[in-house]
Structure 1
Amino acid sequence: MNDMSAPKIPFNKPVLAGRELDYIKEAIDSGQLAGDGPFTERCEQALLQRIGGASAHLTHSCTAGLEMAAILCGLGPGDEVILPSYTFVSTANAVVLRGATPVFVDIEPETLNIDPVQVRAAVTDRTRAIFPVHYAGVVADMDPICAIAAGHGLMVVEDAAQALGATRNGRAAGSFGDMAAFSFHETKNIISGEGGALIVNRSGLSLRAEIIREKGTNRAQFFRGMTDKYSWVDMGSSFLPGELVAAFLFGQLEKLDTLNNERIAVWNRYHAAFEPLERTAGVRRPVIPAECEHNAHMYYLLMPDLDARTAFISSMKAAGITTPFHYVPLHSSPFGRTCSRVHGDMSVTDELSDRLVRLPLYPGVGQNLDRIIETALRSAGHG
């Protein structure tokens, strides 16, 4: 029943976690608001301590990190990059902007991550890189992907937008490939409104990454006293965030474990509560491989079919609860059909994208969990 008096529950709600406002004031008082200041450095060091790597480069978005990575891969016309179709457009746009061709392959039905078997089959003499995506904070099966890349001389760029704090076999998301891009968009576990980072694991790429991020100049080397002047030495763009963004982000990074643990507690409540749906309503819950520690970025349900999902979303909306579906597969999108190609069958992507629905998950949503769960069970046809 629709209770008009009940407050609406959004899908996401950004929150303060710690000293964000104090750090913003500190940045203002310091007199430096442009990027690459003290808070940028603090954020980059915090990321390296968490993930490892040769260098970290704070960016204004994960999109910017992916675009930097595409430049560092040396992509150009005639090159191909293998990636999943079930991802955000930024993963593919980074490839297209270099004039290269995205080659979409299918995903694993269990994790919704790129299928290494399909990756291997898609490699051609034009393949230059693989861009795996860690969907829902579950790290993709990176060992075979990295082995394929090593055997063919390919670069690996992890789209780890959703995966900060997640691990596979004890290794952090972002530590497997040559590079990895992270997101701090307000829908992520750690936020700065907009924001991102590029982690560079191949040390030989770090200096060029620094130059590309600084509009193609050697400005950073100049300020370190490594050159007597700085000038335009490579291609690049303005990928830096300002210090106010970095200051807010550092306040969040200090609370990474606290925020992730709160999300995991909510995720576990959902997972236990929705177990009966698998037995009575043909609904599937997320599958987490034993070797993975996820970060509870997302809780989703796979409804029996598109009609069931549509009815579920409508019922939840009537109760004031926002439960969106997720990506429209890129291979079937209007622009995707013009600039990419597909290798192999995409039946898993096509089917699961029609069935997936996401539930509210953010710090503070716990006070509404009983209402969300009861409404979801009823909307899915249980009880």
Structure 2
Amino acid sequence: MTTAEWTERYQGAVMNTFGPPQTVLVRGEGVHVWDADGNQYLDLLAGIAVNALGHAHPAIVEAVTSQLTTLGHTSNFFATEPQVRLAEKLVQLVGHDARVFFTNSGTEANEAAFKVTRRTGRTRVVVAEGSFHGRTMGALALTSKEAYRAPFEPLPGDVTWVPYGDAAALEAAVDDTVAAVLVEPIQGEAGVVVPPDDYLRVARAVTTRHGALLWLDEVQTGMGRTGAWFAYEQSGVVPDLLTLAKGLGGGLPIGACVAIGDAGTLLQPGNHGTTFGGNAVSTAAALAVIATIEGEGLLDHVTTIGDQLRRGLADHPLVAEVTGRGLMVGVVLHQPLAAEVQKAAMAAGLILNNATPDRLRIVPPLVLSESEAAHAVTTLRAVLDEVSA
């Protein structure tokens, strides 16, 4: 069947929450995918920073297959070996005493963290403008975009908004009534927006001073995306709450709320739950992702290839700035042409994202090679030339 035929069937059966699909993908291998019409694409979006090892990676295929033939679903009445091993591994990577609650997604990880903040006895949460934390009712209450929130208000409340990256505004907003400050180390949905170097340090200091939790949403930045396991490491701070998902499972649905230090004791039996969260198959996949990142030295690789992409795009006349760290790359345009660039790039065989009218987001698999990155730069520069003309 053709893409057009599949799209027609999609529109006849699937809720219209996303609009018509850009194409219908049928196969993936490494950093490439193919659609139903046989067109090949270099995937610079990776399922929105999810497919950390690309498509059909042997380590993930082996881990999932082995686990499914051994033990699949068990519910939360029972523990499994990969669940325990993954929790221990995340605690090791954090490097501090912590406890982990597993979920199926980043939104759910943020829902869990939101409930942790309520256990402090306070309700007010300070959140940055431009943020995106999810679409469920709790996570949506903490998501900045008015168009997302307005149709579903009233939402779980007591949220104070402050400009992202403005340390003075953050300090002014936090007092002894605040349960938590929630920020992304780098804003992803806003188009890879990087705050000033001292921003997270100020956030840590002000929350400590007022007895509030520092909650860092690393759903997009975590698990090696920026060249470190967690983007906050590059600031030297340690949060109280850390939310993860996307790249953690390498394509399998999994999220995690990591509560560090005393925050790890705030949720007790009966306070929260999940049927599928932390299931044996997804946690086995996550262990394979982590082992591959470690075994293949991908953290250093991510830094090298990310720098290559930024250097290759920074001097194009249509490009005002290239932002981000590692393989989280934002391309800021002088004109609001991101949608046109995205469409032309796809026609040229590149999948990327127009995050805002003047920002492109590039979050490829962490295994993107030097030659593949060079091809991406050459192709995207040609697309920028075409759109500029």
What's the TM-score, normalizing by structure 1? 0.69
Whether the aligned pair in 1 keeps the contact of 2:119 and 2:266 (CA below 8 Å) is: no
Out of 316, 338, 345, the residue aligned to residue 309 of structure 1 is 338
Uncovered stretches (5+) of structure 1, i.e. residues with no partner? 109-114, 217-233, 288-293, 327-352
| Contact 1:301–1:356 (CA under 8 A) maintained in structure 2 | yes
SS at structure 1 position matched to 2:353: coil
Q: Which whole-Å CA distance do the structure 2 matches of 1:365 and 1:20 have between them?
A: 17
Partner amino acid for 1:269? Q
From the two aligned structures, give the one with the greater strand fraction. Answer: 2
> Aligned AA for 1:252?
V
Displacement of 1:81 after TM fit? 1.4
SS in structure 2 of the partner of residue 9 of structure 1: strand
Distance 1:249 1:201 in 2: 20
> Contact 1:18–1:252 (CA<8 Å) still a contact in 2?
no
1:38 maps onto 2:78 in alignment: no
CA contact (8 A) 1:40 1:247 kept: yes
Matched with 1:250 is 287
Inter-partner Cα distance in structure 2 for 1:25 and 1:197: 22
Distance 1:16 1:82, change over 3 A: same
Q: 1:206 aligns with which of 254, 264, 285?
A: 264
Change (3 A) 1:199 1:89: closer
Per-residue deviation, residues 128-184 of structure 1 (Å, max 9, x unmatched): 21001122597973221011112222221111112234379993789622111111x
Tell me the alpha carbon deviations over residues 231-263 of structure 1, each in whole angstroms, 9 at most, x when there is no partner.
Answer: xxx454547231111111111111124344443
Distance 1:198 1:209 in 2: 11
Structure 2 contact 248–254 (Cα < 8 Å) conserved: no
Output one character per residue of 1:45-101: Cα deviation in whole Å (capped at 9) or x when no partner: 111111123223332222222211111111799933111232324288337398223
From 104, 122, 132, the equivalent of 2:173 is: 122
Within the candidate set 361, 377, 384, 1:380 is matched to 384
CA distance in 1, matches of 2:132, 2:231: 26
Q: In the aligned structure 1, how far is the partner of 2:211 from the partner of 2:81? A: 37
Shift of residue 122 of structure 1?
Answer: 2.6
RMSD: 3.6
Whether the 8 Å CA contact 1:8–1:321 is kept in 2: the answer is yes
* Residue aligned with 1:153, SS: coil
SS in 1 for 2:334: coil
Q: Where does residue 252 of structure 2 map in the other structure?
A: 193
Task: For 2:300 and 2:257, locate their aligned partners in 1 and report how far apart those are by CA, in whole Å.
Answer: 24
Q: Which amino acid aligns with 2:210?
A: H
SS in 2 for 1:378: helix
Give the residue type in structure 1 aligned to 2:373.
L
User: Does residue 8 of structure 1 match 2:41?
Assistant: yes
1:127–1:254 CA distance, 2 compared to 1 (3 A): same
1:103 match: 160
CA–CA distance in 1 between the matches of 2:323 and 2:105?
27
Q: Paired residue for 1:347?
A: none
* Equivalent in the alignment of 1:79: 123
SS at match of 2:184: coil
**1:282 shift after superposition:** 4.5
2: CA distance, partners of 1:85 / 1:102: 11
Pairwise CA distance, 1:207? 4.1
**Structure 1 residues 24 and 312 mapped into 2: Cα distance closer, same or farther (>3 Å)?**
closer
Displacement after TM superposition at 1:197 (Å): 1.2
Q: Secondary structure at the match of 1:241?
A: coil
Q: Which has the higher contact order (CA 8 A, sep 6+)?
A: 1
Retained in 1: the 8 A contact 2:327–2:362? no
**Residues 34 and 201 of structure 1: CA distance in aligned 2, closer, same or farther (over 3 Å):** same
Q: 5+ unaligned residues in a row in structure 2: which ranges?
A: 1-36, 143-154
Aligned CA distance change for structure 1 residues 297 and 117 (closer, same or farther; 3 Å): farther
Distance 2:232 2:171 in 1: 25
What amino acid does structure 2 have at the position aligned with 1:310?
Answer: A
**Residue number among 358, 361, 364 corresponding to 2:361 in the alignment:** 358
Residue type of the alignment partner of 1:377: R
String of CA shifts for 1:201-236, please: whole Å, max 9, x gaps.
123x4344363xxxx1xxxxxxxxxxxxxxxxx454
Equivalent pairs counted in the alignment come to: 313
* Structure 2 residue identity aligned to 1:46: K
| Match status 1:176 vs 2:238 | yes
SS where residue 350 of structure 2 aligns? Answer: coil
Is 1:321 matched up with 2:350?
yes
Question: Quick one: which of 193, 199, 205 aligns to 1:147?
Answer: 205
Matching residue's letter, 2:171: R
